[in-house]
Amino acid sequence: MRRAVVLLLVLAAGAAQAFTADVTHVSDGDTVWVKRDGRAPFKLRLDGLDAPERCQAGGAAARDALAARLLHRRVAVRTRAHDDYGRAVGTLQLDGADVGAWLVSQGLAWNARFGRRAGPYAEEEQQARRAARGVFAQPAPEYPRDFRRRHGPCG
């Protein structure tokens, strides 16, 4: 059993990559397309956060703000895995700043919780809630996962 766990950790570490790329498209508030030099663009889901769905209140604002900040810009990418939809999952840095932290601090996304663990952007979300920024200005903002369960995917 221990040998299997060690093997999984080694394989997971091998899947992680760090590189620079250009943002070629912004699909929504937590998904972008990036292109490394000499390679085809690929879809990247931002890790550690969940932005409103495109058809959810705040979804268009999150997408537009992310596009204004990143589109056609060079970013540092660190991938760690692929999700159930085949997207790479990772983080982005623009000029040394964590894009996920910026999104959550602006109220454009929620910090992703993992069971009882707070998640990487818990402090940024609390600051955005206290300042009533973005989706947290709404009286009862609906977490995107709950929205997807109630309404299904956006068309």
Q: Which of 39, 54, 63, 87 is catalytic?
A: 87
SS3 23: strand
User: Could you confirm whether 45 is annotated as catalytic?
Assistant: yes
Q: Which residue has the tokens 């390679």?
A: 39
User: Could you confirm whether 116 is annotated as catalytic?
Assistant: no
3-state percent helix, strand, coil for the chain, nearest multiple of 5: 35, 30, 35
Distance of CA 71 to CAs 26, 30, 33, 59, 115, Å? 7, 13, 9, 17, 33
User: Could you confirm whether 113 is annotated as catalytic?
Assistant: no
SS3 24: strand
Catalytic residue numbers?
A: 45, 53, 87
